[in-house]
A and B are shown apart, each in its own frame.
Chain A
Amino acid sequence: MTMHTPHSRLTVTNVVCWSAALLLVMLAALSAQSDGFDDETAALTYHKVSGDRLDTQTVASRSQAALRATSFDRPDVVAAEQRRLDSLLASMDVSHEFTLTIDDRIADYDHTNSQFSIELFTPGSYIPFRAFSQEYRLVFANAASARAIPMPKEQAREFDARLNSFGRQIKNEVHFKIIGKGDPTGAVSGGFVVRAEITSARALDRSGEVLFTPKVVAAGAGPKFAGFDASKTDVAGLRIGGSKKDMEATLTRLFGKVTPGHMTASAKGFAGAIEVNSLGCRSGFTNRKTRPQPGAVCVTAYYDASETIRLVRVERMFPSNFDVNVFQKALLQKYGPLSGGRGALSWGPGIPGTVFNKPDSFVDALTASVAYDEDISSIGANRLENAIASLQLLDAAWAEKVSK
């Protein structure tokens, strides 16, 4: 296992190895907080906490037991293994505390801010681990509170010399809980980004002597917006909770002709939709010979039986030099820290996806994403495609009621 930082790769070792796993299970029965880290336990906890679905059938079909079985017995073996995994997943303790000791490094003294910093806790760093033949990336939501080692310059000189005596390499002992999905800073992306909260940490030298113990602040305990309320915000100026009539008037004034939108039969609670140019932001969906151009705007708004707008999605096409970092910065400025936990750029609260007929998944009140306008002509073409920025706002309180 390795730790990835924006600048380096460092080796990671588990506190407790596989051979101790059985002992850990026994200890867990005696203690609410068992030490250690097990890849599969962490992965299962992540799937349970985040609501991100684990395809247990596929995992079961790739298991050693399935691979060893004869073709005659394989279906039964896979089914049994799937049942075992489903049962294991359901039994996961979401409050489980994990421990990792990581080979880490303390960076050079920052004279401007009078502090050293621990590399694992810098934005963009993550710890990869593998379970069920897929990679997970572990990030710490409250890493910022553990990053700095503040120190006056005179004291820092001696500390720096001590660090140099062992090449600045340290053991970083981190205790944490898994709390959701996605990197709050947005710096780490990927399919399975495991969001964790540090409960305590210690920087140790090679002999095990404590160099520093950061004062960890709980994730979300720092300055933040007072909760995310979908009814009090907007996406590109557009709101939920208002009437269909007001939305229609707004869209007509700003963008032109409004037409009835397409409704999928599986959506629950929605009575209809209105839209403007809804299929005009993607080449793949147009019959036009010319591709949509930067500046194109597409809006779809869904309403319920009372003709109250419950979901609005707005998209805009940008040139290929779209800057995701600027997009993310603008979103964080407007909506505050990411709080959804179930998507890379999302804000909570997360609710069961019943309104989309996906009760096993979770949806967040606000999601933002960027796609690129690729169609069949993009295959093999050496060109950068235009970007499509999407913002979607769901009336989470309404959706939660509909889900029950």
Chain B
Amino acid sequence: MQTFRTAVLRSILLVSAAGAACGGADKGAPGAVAAPPSRSGDIWEIQAPADRTAVPGSIVAFVNGVHVMVVDGNEIYAGMTTLATKSGADGGRTITFPSGLTADMVSSGKGAELRFSSGERVMVHERQ
């Protein structure tokens, strides 16, 4: 039986693999407008931060719309805004926001960690 951590890692790796399968198509014009798919993809979200040290990261995630997001293969939807992604460090993905801010989404523990280029970090989990 696979552990939750393995599932998360697999999910992120699948996202990376999907990008590679498309000829490394790191597409997605930052800030493009689109409603997220109604069924496909998974919803990832920051959780009610029991860890108070995660509050700064959750603030940055909220402002940039990734406090709740749809991850659909290589596409990430922050609300109605598509975000540019590309393969990142540690087998994860790097999200680029229209402002130039970036966030590495890296597998960590029972979920993934968003590491913003501005320094803040916050855990995100796939909604069950």
**A253 touching B118, Cβ below 8 Å:** no
Q: How far is the CA of A232 from the CA of B118 in the complex (A)?
A: 23
Closest Cβ of chain B to A308, distance in Å, is 13
Is the C-beta of B19 less than 8 angstroms from some C-beta in chain A? no
Q: How far is the CA of A242 from the CA of B81 in the complex (A)?
A: 12
Point out the residues of chain A lying under 8 angstroms from B33, CB to CB. Answer: 239, 242
A38-74: CB near B (< 8 Å → 1, else 0) gives 0000000000000000000000000000000000000
**A254 touching B63, Cβ below 8 Å:** no
Question: Which B69-87 residues have C-beta < 8 A from chain A?
Answer: 69-70, 77-81
**A294 touching B65, Cβ below 8 Å:** no
Closest Cβ of chain A to B111, distance in Å, is 15
Closest Cβ of chain B to A140, distance in Å, is 26
**A334 touching B64, Cβ below 8 Å:** yes
**A249 touching B38, Cβ below 8 Å:** yes
Q: How far is the CA of A247 from the CA of B68 in the complex (A)?
A: 15
Helix, strand, loop or mixed for chain A's interface?
mixed
Question: Which B48-100 residues have C-beta < 8 A from chain A?
Answer: 48-49, 52, 55-56, 58-60, 62-70, 77-81, 97-99
> Which residue of A is nearest B56, CB measured?
A326
Is the C-beta of A246 less than 8 angstroms from some C-beta in chain B? yes
> Which residue of A is nearest B51, CB measured?
A319
**A330 touching B64, Cβ below 8 Å:** yes
Point out the residues of chain B lying under 8 angstroms from A334, CB to CB. Answer: 63-64, 97-99, 101
Is the C-beta of B31 less than 8 angstroms from some C-beta in chain A? yes
> Which residue of B is nearest A334, CB measured?
B99
Point out the residues of chain B lying under 8 angstroms from A233, CB to CB. Answer: 31, 98
Is the C-beta of A18 less than 8 angstroms from some C-beta in chain B? no
**A327 touching B59, Cβ below 8 Å:** yes
Contacts A236-B67, A242-B33, A327-B63 given; does A333 touch B80 at CB 8 Å: no
**A333 touching B55, Cβ below 8 Å:** no
**B97 touching A255, Cβ below 8 Å:** no
Q: How far is the CA of A253 from the CA of B34 in the complex (A)?
A: 13
Closest Cβ of chain B to A13, distance in Å, is 42
Interface residues on B, range: 35 or more
Is the C-beta of B35 less than 8 angstroms from some C-beta in chain A? yes
Within 8 Å by CB of A250, from B49, B52, B80, lies B80
Is the C-beta of A323 less than 8 angstroms from some C-beta in chain B? yes
**B99 touching A246, Cβ below 8 Å:** no
Is the C-beta of A295 less than 8 angstroms from some C-beta in chain B? yes
Q: How far is the CA of A375 from the CA of B13 in the complex (A)?
A: 46
Closest Cβ of chain B to A327, distance in Å, is 5
Q: How far is the CA of A295 from the CA of B52 in the complex (A)?
A: 12
Within 8 Å by CB of B62, from A236, A250, A254, A333, lies A236
Is the C-beta of B47 less than 8 angstroms from some C-beta in chain A? yes
Question: Which A222-279 residues have C-beta < 8 A from chain B?
Answer: 232-239, 242, 246-247, 249-250, 252-255
Starting from the known contacts A326-B55, A330-B63, 5 additional A-B residue pairs (CB-CB under 8 Å) come to A235-B65, A236-B79, A247-B80, A322-B55, A330-B64
Q: Tell me the B residues contacting A by CB distance below 8 Å.
A: 31, 33, 35-38, 43, 46-49, 52, 55-56, 58-60, 62-70, 77-81, 97-99, 101, 118, 120
Q: List 29 A-B contacts (CB under 8 A).
A: A232-B31, A233-B31, A234-B78, A234-B79, A234-B80, A238-B79, A246-B80, A247-B35, A255-B68, A293-B48, A294-B48, A295-B47, A318-B55, A318-B58, A319-B49, A321-B52, A323-B56, A323-B59, A326-B56, A326-B120, A327-B63, A329-B118, A330-B63, A333-B99, A333-B118, A334-B63, A335-B99, A389-B62, A391-B63
